[in-house]
Chain A
Amino acid sequence: MLQLTGVTHVYPNGTQALTDVTLTIPKGMFGLLGPNGAGKSTLMRTIATLQTPTQGQITFGDIDVLKQPELLRERLGYLPQDFGVYPRVNAYDMLDHMAVLKGIASKVDRKATVETLLNQVNLWDVRKKAIAGFSGGMRQRFGVAQALIGNPELIIVDEPTAGLDPEERNRFLNLLAEIGENVVIILSTHIVDDVADLCPRMAVLAQGRLQLEGAPHELIDQTRGRIWSKTISREALADHRERFDVISTRLIAGSTIINVLSDNDPGDGFAAASGGLEDVYFSTLANLRRDIDQTAA
């Protein structure tokens, strides 16, 4: 179990990336939602022992991660948001090299690891191709493969489905789901559907703070009966924004559909909508924005 207490990080140039993040993450998939710039990657890197926070504590089971990061690293699998490749190295050799780095000493063990993983992520046929020539999806699959080496107990995947086509995304999520049960997996993303499909627990991080935490279905319940939706024309959008608490707008087949948050039926052509995680997410962000506007004003 991963426990974060009061994690705060201020970058040397003054940017406050995280403020007082306290979280408990049990075994299983955990979704961390948030917009770009929310501090998700900072948090992920901090947990992955790549950064030390200016304040706070992180423990994983018995391990004090900040004092003994090497112990966590032995159990960690990390897929960063953005990673590159070495030139003139093929997928097989690179994965084998990562296996060495992660401490798989025996050659036989490594062979089994590498070949199983390559097969699992469907890179077996292109194993001798240079990674530098991989497409984005293939590279992502490689990243997953290396994160799974050595049966880690804590897996962190940061924006893993960005840039994948729908089929690849499905395959990836299925892969994660397979492992999901006995391992702590933190899925950090801005794609709401990923969390909705996979995660029994989630949190929303925005502006460096935890805005929301809980099980998705509970959070969705909280919004039941408060989400209303209406189809409008584009010109009417501005007017509706003023009059209602608009939490999301969507374009479907050319028309604009807006969702608003309201305890009561706002009438005026609005219909009750069954809330989804998206609505939870957007309403959280909308509230945040309003709070900021108010403090500013």
Chain B
Amino acid sequence: MFASVFAFELRYQARNPVFWVVFTLFFLLTFGAVSSPNIQIGDGGNVNANSPAAIAEMMIILTIFFMFVTTAFVANVIVRDDESGFGPMVRSTRVSKFDYLIGRFAGAFAISAVAFLAVPLAIWIGSLMPWVDPETLGPNRLVYYANAYFLLALPGIFLTSSLFFAVATITRTMMGSYIGVVIFLVLYLIFGALTEFDPNLMTFSAYAEPFGGAAYELLTRYWTASESNTQMAPFDGILLVNRLIWLGVSLLALAFAYSRYQFAEKGLSARQVKKQERAAEKLARQVPLLTDTLPAATPDKAAWVRLVARCKFEMTQVFRSPAFFILVLIGLFNSVAALFFVSELYGTPAYPMTFYVISILQGSFTIFPVIIAIFYGGELVWRDRERKMHELIDSTSIPNWAFMVPKALAVVGVLLATLLISVVAAMLVQTLRGYTDFELDKFLTWYVLPLTVEFASLGILSVFVQALSPNKYVGWALMMLYLVATITFSIIDWNHPLYLFGQGINVPLSDLNGTAVSGAGAWWVRLYWGIFSIMLAIGAHWLWRRGTGVTIRSSLGLLPSRLRSASGGLMLACLAAFVATGVYIYRNTNVLNEYVTGDSREQQLADYEKQYLQYENIKQPSMTAITLKLDVYPELRRFEASGEIEMVNDTGAPVEELHVRFEDEVVQVKSVELPGATLERNDEAFKYRIYRFETPLQPNERRTLTFETVREQVGFRARGNDTRLVHNGTFLNNIEYAPQFGMSRNGLLQDRAPRRKYDLPAELRMAKLEDESARQQKYVGDAAWVMSDITVSTSADQEPLAPGSRVSDETVGDRRVTRFVSESPILAFFSVQSADYAVEAREKDGVDFEVYYYDKHNFNVDVMLDAAIASLDYFKANFGPYQFDYARILEFPGYARFAQAFAGTVPYSERLGFIADLTDLVVIDYVTYVTAHEFGHQYWAHQLISSNQQGGTLLVETMAQYSALMVMQSIYGEDKIRRFLKYELDRYLNARGSEAIEELPLNRVENQGYIHYRKGAVVMYLLQDRLGEDRVNAMLADLLDRYRFKSQPYASSIDLVDGFKSLARDDSERELVTDLLEKITVYDLKVTDAAVRKTDDGQWETTITIAAEKFYADGEGRETTAPLADDIDIGLFSARPGLSRFGTDDVIEMRRRPITSGEQEIVVLTAEPPTYAGIDPYNKYVDRNSDDNIKTVDF
């Protein structure tokens, strides 16, 4: 009996359209993720798309999404008997409860498991596709798929099946089951958010997270690429225990369902009966309004009433449907979770300002209105027919237009309501986070209105497609096809807004600049597709099936008469408007501006490299002085630049050619004059000019080049609207308008896949450390040390800023003109800015500290000033003189998120630092850190610049990290540094797995951020800790002295490594310097046991058992053991280091002791009993596992 019930259920569910829809959906999702060259799953980099790690991650994530599907199947088992009315018949047969219930459950679970096979199938098939880069694939081994499916996916599917099966037996309705799903999802998200950032909860969540994701993450988080590509999730340890725990929970749920389920139906309880009687009584007491003759109908006067009533009715039906409730709920929880738990940097959140919140909503909520538009398009169109109300409705005197119009309006109304709900939720979160500046106008004009128009177009398309389709499911399938097609076309860059329905122009948001970058253009495109939607709506109206037995053909037959009616006139008017709008848009996007697809841009860069990279080693004269006249016209988005560049031949040999190029393709070159030279080659397309000196430029000979350029945004572009030259918050650096000398690698194609595609060598590697000739070139673009004299003009209501001391500042008419002259050499790589700023200023020791910001972003201005002052205090005392009399921090629009250091000037994105929420003292104050880092660059980059070869960034970025760390330590103290260092260590270890080419030691780093920033911070801290802060600073000050403002030969990492080696006092220190700077060294230090006893004389003797290892790693992450012999901190504490309240008082003893490889015991005598013991408790070493350094002490 069981077998036949099971088999029947299996066959029944397999014929359920849900099964096929789900199978297709998950197949397509996975297939797209695997085979699309632009979408990356997992960490990317060197991890193969079909590696066991990638397969495992994909399966885990999709199992979570799959819970909606499993619920559909298992809840159907319980619910369908009652809903179809077949229940009493089945239940009065001889079938036993076990066979019936568990047999059906087994069938439904089996079907879910089969449906999920779409995922591994899609991964496998995706990997076979010819267009996938073979470098990103490994061997397809069945065991990888099987391991992930059976160990990771199937238990999760079993869990959700049995859990929601139990829920369905309680609620007995589909709606109730899905509410259960939503609640589960909410709890799961909250659990995830609470445990995500706390490393102490990692083990707990590995057991508690039901899908095995946390356990898998815990086991593999530090895996390098080679491990990810070859190792499967181990079937033991935490992962196995997790699976067993949740298997047990699943069986418990199943048992619960079994015991709860009853064959007989329950009647109403006595109390419910009484309640019903009372309600009926109350109702009966009301007296009806009776007339003898019924009022007549007045159809002519009823048009408006009908429209309103139909609209309201359709909308109410949607609002009351359980599916809508659930969709909105999920959308809300997804976005509320994102809003609440978003963190900017180092776990520190940002203030939930409106522009910021809106971009989060756009990412996390907007998929749901899309689903609603498609789903309810179908529901609304087919409801009358499905409910068999269509005969009643179609035979009333309701006019034809009143079928389509209310449904279309209802879709719009529902979408509008959904978006408004998300706004309310967002404002709720803002309130809960303590931010009450509600900018309703921004919510409305930046989010609700534009999205309503866009989603409404989609909704009307959905209605149109449904009006054409023979049934609802075909209509949905067509809409899904449309969605997939849109995504695919976007990926392959066929997404010009004029031919891809629903495509728009991206509008980046900013408080400084509003929507001004592309807002107008975006609205034109919305108008364009909006008109088209109206045409679609009219089409839907014409094709509408009223009555029974109507076919598309008969509707088409009526078209000629329709064209002559009022709707025909409207259609023609719309067509005219559509074409007119299209022409206007085309003029902007393709005539006034150039429309370049991503592929053709890549082609351009490849050609550029093929033609000009050969010149990169030609020695060019250096710039010595720049005089510029820059005119900013913010309202017109026009920028005029003219200037003189003085150069000197410092190459030691005659120079025959000067290569002059303009790097930014939007720049218009008006003129370039170089006396005594002829223009031999002028490539206007690439803006590359080669001048030949009539007589070669002799060594030490000088020449002056003059130029004029214009940069302007005319009309709007389909994409690539200028975010640098804007109405408020212009931020241009000289590369974007001034000429550069000589060829550079800046901006060329980096990724291997496109490089191979265009027949370029796979990689452009930096010059090796040993390459002496490379020391003649600097690494920051082609920038030399110059003296600058810059005059900037802008409109009178803005303030212009450029490097240099402010020499004059006057407002003449509606223009404001300011002149800046540098008093010491600056790197010829600087920025000019113009905006309507608020300013906060302080003066100290002859330096003017100023912060220029958008007046509402005043939260951290004082923190920034404090940080700048503290930084310069430290640097002046320890590194040497600060070369400027000003220190400026400038806010720029949040179109990019970074901070940068120019000469005495630190531009800071509005999305960084300015809106950081530091009110919770527990969070890491990254504002101070980043400010200190950027001011560190005033020394490390703007006084000393390194050569363009391996290890160059060690001297610039790593030293800036070091500078920032020292500033933080001087403010917060050594004991608090641990939390910060742990972040940096974690991020370094995590990022190693995504390395695409090869990892390198610090002295050979090739601009790899995770090495020179993250590892650099940890390494530098350890070095100064071992060798002494003052001694290190003295060595660095000396280095700065030698290279300050010097041109070739430039400093290289060899200088720094030699400097540290000179500070080493014994063998272990020398070995440490080599290990940290010249090798990739990873340690594994842990306390295996710690016990304390009281000695006879009242002291406390602690015995700590330690296991220590040291490994050297190669570029791909393969490790070999190495002997360890070093002096490492051993500490005893009364509180756990790393927690926010840990302070100096909690340190009982901390001392370095000699440690060797393997196990060893250390005995420490102290006056107080310790609670914690640790080796390298502050995580100064690069430790594979930084959580096992500390242990509680046993008595």
Instruction: Determine how close the nearest CB of chain B comes to the CB of A120; give it in whole angstroms.
Output: 9
Question: How far is A126 from B300 in the complex, measured between Cα atoms in Å?
Answer: 32
> Taking CB as reference atom, which chain B residue is nearest A146?
B392
Known: A80-B391, A85-B387, A125-B283. A113 touches B299 (CB 8 A): no
Report which of A73, A125, A148 forms a contact with B294, defined as CB distance below 8 A.
Answer: A148
Distance (whole angstroms) from the CB of B700 to the closest CB of chain A:
90
Which A residues touch B614, using CB under 8 A? none
Interface flag for A30 (CB, 8 Å) = no
B1149 touches A (CB below 8 Å): no
Q: Is the CB of B317 within 8 A of A86?
A: yes
Of A100, A112, A128, which is in contact with the most chain B CB atoms at under 10 Å from its CB? A100
B288 with A50: CB separation less than 8 A: no
Q: Does A102 contact B (CB under 8 A)?
A: yes
Instruction: Give per-residue flags for B294-338: 1 if the beta carbon is below 8 A from chain A beta carbons, else 0.
Output: 111111111001100110010001001000000000000000000
**Docked-complex contact B289 and A115, CB < 8 angstroms:** yes
> Smallest CB–CB gap between A107 and chain B, Å?
9
Q: List chain B residues, Cβ under 8 A from A83.
A: 388-389, 391-392
CA gap between A74 and B301 in the complex, in Å: 13
Please state if B298 and A104 are interface contacts (CB–CB under 8 Å).
yes
Known contacts: A85-B389, A151-B296. The answer to whether A119 contacts B309 by CB under 8 A is no
Asked whether, in the complex, the Cβ of A128 is within 8 Å of the Cβ of B392, the reply is: no
Interface centre among B283, B284, B294, B301 (most CB of A within 10 A): B294
A-B contact count (CB 8 A): 140
* B644 adjacent to chain A (CB < 8 Å): no
The 6 A-B pairs with the shortest beta carbon distances in the complex, nearest first, are A84-B388, A103-B299, A150-B297, A50-B547, A115-B288, A109-B295
**B391→A78 contact, CB < 8 A:** yes
Further 14 A-B residue pairs, CB within 8 A, beyond A85-B389, A116-B290, A148-B294: A45-B548, A50-B546, A70-B397, A74-B299, A78-B391, A83-B388, A85-B387, A101-B310, A102-B398, A103-B300, A103-B397, A112-B289, A124-B288, A150-B297
Q: Which of B561-579 contact A (CB under 8 A)?
A: none
Let me know if A101 and B294 touch, CB within 8 A.
Answer: no
For residue B518, give the distance in angstroms from its CB to the closest CB of chain A.
44
Q: Chain A residues near B130 (CB, 8 Å)? A: none
Tell me whether B320 and A112 are in contact (CB under 8 A): no
24 pairs across A/B with beta carbons < 8 Å?
Answer: A45-B548, A48-B395, A49-B547, A50-B391, A70-B397, A78-B395, A80-B391, A83-B389, A88-B317, A98-B396, A101-B309, A102-B396, A102-B397, A103-B299, A103-B396, A112-B294, A112-B295, A113-B295, A115-B289, A116-B289, A119-B288, A119-B290, A148-B294, A150-B295
Contact between A103 and B297 (Cβ–Cβ < 8 Å)? yes
Measured CA separation A91–B397 after assembly (Å): 21
Question: Which residues in window 239-268 of A have CB below 8 A to B?
Answer: none
Q: Is A5 an interface residue (CB 8 A)?
A: no
The reply to whether the CB of A55 lies closer than 8 angstroms to some CB of chain B is no
Q: Given A45-B548, A73-B396: A104 and B290 within 8 A (CB)?
A: no
B-contacting residues, A64-86, CB 8 Å: 70, 73-74, 76, 78, 80, 82-86
When the two chains form the complex, which single residue of B288, B295, B313, B388 contacts A118, counting CB atoms closer than 8 Å? B288
Q: Bound complex: CA of A115 vs CA of B292, how far in Å? A: 12
Q: From residue 11 to 25 of chain A, which have CB atoms closer than 8 A to chain B?
A: 11-12
The answer, among B290, B293, B305, for a CB contact under 8 Å with A115, is B290
Closest to B317 in A: A86
CB pair B299 A149 closer than 8 Å? no
Name the B residues within 8 Å of A146 (CB-CB): 392
- Are B393 and A101 in contact (CB-based, < 8 A)? yes
**Interface residues as binary, B387-430 with A (CB distance below 8 Å gives 1, 0 otherwise):** 11101111111110000000000000000000000000000000
User: How far apart are B563's CB and chain A's nearest CB, in angstroms?
Assistant: 18
**Assembled-state Cα–Cα distance A297/B283 (Å):** 65
The complex places the Cα of A109 from the Cα of B302 at a distance, in Å, of 12
A128 touching B283, Cβ below 8 Å = yes
Q: Which residue of A lies closest to B292 (CB)?
A: A116
Q: How many residues of B contact A (CB 8 A)?
A: 44
CB pair B389 A73 closer than 8 Å: no
Asked if A105 and B290 make an inter-chain contact with CB atoms under 8 angstroms apart, the answer reads no
Is A127 an interface residue when CB atoms closer than 8 A count as contact?
A: yes
Interface of A is mostly: loop
Q: How far is the CA of A151 from the CA of B306 in the complex (A)?
A: 19
Contact A105 B298 (CB under 8 A): yes
Chain B residues near A98 (CB-CB < 8 A) = 392, 396
Cβ A70 vs Cβ B392 within 8 A: no
Contact of B391 among A45, A104, A124 (CB under 8 A): A45
B560 CB to closest chain A CB (Å) equals: 16
B291 close to chain A: CB less than 8 A:
yes
CA distance A70 to B546 in the complex (A): 12
Q: Is A111 an interface residue (CB 8 A)?
A: yes
Question: Does the CB pair B298–A103 fall under 8 Å?
Answer: yes
Minimal beta-carbon separation of A59 from chain B (angstroms):
18
Q: For residue A74, which residue of chain B has the nearest CB?
A: B397
Cα-based distance from A219 to B392 in the complex (angstroms): 34
B395 with A76: CB separation less than 8 A: yes
Q: Cβ of A169 < 8 Å from any Cβ of B?
A: no
A45-B547 Cα distance, complex, nearest whole Å: 8
Asked whether, in the complex, the Cβ of B548 is within 8 Å of the Cβ of A86, the reply is: no
Bound Cα distance A151, B295 (Å): 7
Check if A226 is an interface residue, CB within 8 A of chain B.
no
Q: Which of B290, B298, B305, B549 contacts A11 (CB 8 A)?
A: B549
A117 within 8 Å of B (CB atoms): yes
User: Which residues of chain B come closer than 8 Å to A118, judged between CB atoms?
Assistant: 288
Q: Give chain A interface residues in 146-189, CB to chain B under 8 Å.
A: 146, 148-151
A103 to B304 CA separation, bound complex (whole angstroms): 10
Q: Does B551 contact A (CB under 8 A)?
A: yes
> Could you tell me the distance in whole angstroms from the C-beta of B1172 to the nearest C-beta in chain A?
61
Question: In the assembled complex, which residues on chain B have CB atoms less than 8 Å from the CB atom of A105?
Answer: 298, 301-302, 305
Interface residue from B306, B387, B548 paired with A84 (Cβ < 8 Å): B387
Other-chain contact of A82, B313, B388, B393 (Cβ < 8 Å): B388
Q: Is residue B812 contacting chain A, with contact meaning CB distance below 8 A?
A: no
Q: Which residue of A is nearest B387, CB measured?
A: A84
Chain B, range 1033-1053, C-beta contacts under 8 Å to A? none
Question: Are A70 and B294 interface neighbours, CB within 8 A?
Answer: no
Write the nearest CB–CB distance from A110 to chain B, whole angstroms. Answer: 8
A84 to B393, CA, bound (A): 11
Give the shortest distance, in Å, between A135 (CB) and chain B (any CB): 13
Kindly identify which residue among B280, B283, B293, B383 contacts A151, using a CB–CB cutoff of 8 Å. Answer: B293
Give chain B residues whose Cβ lies under 8 Å from the Cβ of A76: 395-397
Partner of B297, one of A74, A86, A111, A128: A74
Chain B residues with Cβ under 8 A from A101's Cβ? 306, 309-310, 393, 396-398
Among B284, B397, B548, the residue within 8 A (CB) of A50 is B548
Q: How far is the CA of A162 from the CA of B787 in the complex (A)?
A: 101
**B:1120-1166 near A, CB below 8 Å:** none
Q: Which residues of the partner chain A approach B306 to less than 8 Å between Cβ atoms? A: 100-101, 103
Residues of B with C-beta under 8 A to A100: 302, 305-306, 309-310
Q: Decide if A49 touches B395 in the complex (CB within 8 Å).
A: yes
A97 within 8 A of B: yes
In the complex, whether A287 has a CB less than 8 A from a CB of chain B is no
The answer to whether A70 and B399 touch (CB under 8 A), given A109-B295, A128-B283, is: yes
Q: Which residues of A contact B397 (CB under 8 A)?
A: 70, 73-74, 76, 101-103
- Roughly how many angstroms separate A45 CA and B546 CA in the complex, as a whole number? 12
Q: Which of A104, A106, A111 has the most CB of B within 10 A?
A: A104
**CB–CB A113/B294 < 8 A:** yes
Cα distance A82–B548 in the bound complex, in angstroms: 13
A290 to chain B, nearest CB (A): 32
The reply to whether the CB of A222 lies closer than 8 angstroms to some CB of chain B is: no
Q: How far is the CA of A100 from the CA of B320 in the complex (A)?
A: 21
Whether the pair A103, B302 counts as a contact (CB closer than 8 A) is yes
| Complex CA–CA separation, A97 to B289 (angstroms) | 17
Q: How far is the CA of A82 from the CA of B387 in the complex (A)?
A: 11
A116 to B383, CA, bound (A): 29
Known: A88-B320, A146-B392. A102 touches B291 (CB 8 A): no
Residue A51 at the chain B interface, CB threshold 8 Å: yes
Interface string of A47-62 (1 = CB under 8 A from B): 0111110000000000
